[in-house]
């Protein structure tokens, strides 16, 4: 049985739940991903194919897929289709002991690097003026950088300095 057929089988099982169809479809696709029936990089059938096989509207399929894209489960590539997103391990940090991003990632055995997104001197925003105690004619230094561990972007770090 193909992954698509397994999704449709799960959808039929959940059809008794009374939940809206797009939520039932979303749950079926998400379960298929979580069970490993469709893995990272695998293509989803087209909206048209899903709609015809599941006997639901394309609008319903689109809503379910969009929810899964927003949740990071699926990715859409214009002109190519919809695919299962690569699995990202969630990085959590205990707040009982404050460490830098570099220290934290090094402790996990990851190679860390940063890429500048923005840096410069700017007129302060009203919030920056208040928080940093600046006058309206002073400038604020803003920096933004992408924090990367093992070639995976993990965070955007932004700071404003007086």
The domain locations on the chain are: 3-84, 101-161
Q: Could you tell me the end-to-end alpha-carbon distance of the chain, in angstroms, rounded to an integer?
A: 62
Are 130 and 142 in contact, with CB atoms under 8 Å apart? no
- Residue 69 tokens, joined: 């894209």
Which superfamily is assigned to 101-161 in CATH?
Answer: Chorismate lyase-like (3.40.1410.10)
Tens of pLDDT, residue by residue, the chain (162 residues):
566 676 767 666 666 567 888 888 898 888 888 888 888 888 888 888 888 888 889 999 999 999 999 888 899 988 888 998 887 666 666 677 778 888 888 888 889 999 999 999 999 999 999 999 998 789 999 999 999 988 888 888 999 999
Q: What is the CATH number of domain 3-84?
A: 1.10.10.10
Please tell me the predicted confidence (pLDDT) of residue 121. Answer: 96
3-84 and 101-161 have identical folds: no
User: By C-alpha distance, which of 104, 106, 112 is closest to 147?
Assistant: 112
């Amino acid at each position: 049985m193909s992954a698509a057929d397994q999704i449709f089988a799960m959808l039929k099982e959940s059809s008794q739940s009374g939940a809206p169809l797009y939520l039932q479809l979303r749950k079926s696709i998400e379960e298929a991903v979580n069970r490993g029936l469709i893995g990272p990089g695998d293509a989803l059938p087209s909206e048209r194919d899903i709609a015809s096989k599941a006997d639901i509207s394309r609008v319903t399929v689109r809503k379910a897929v969009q929810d899964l894209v927003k949740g990071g489960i699926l990715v859409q590539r214009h002109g190519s289709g919809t695919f299962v997103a690569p699995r990202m391990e969630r990085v959590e940090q205990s707040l009982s002991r404050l460490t830098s991003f570099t220290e934290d990632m090094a402790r996990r055995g990851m190679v860390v690097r940063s890429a500048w997104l923005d840096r410069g001197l700017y007129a302060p925003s009203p919030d920056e003026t208040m928080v940093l105690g600046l006058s309206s004619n002073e400038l604020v230094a803003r920096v933004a950088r992408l924090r990367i561990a093992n070639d995976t972007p993990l965070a955007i770090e932004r700071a404003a300095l007086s």
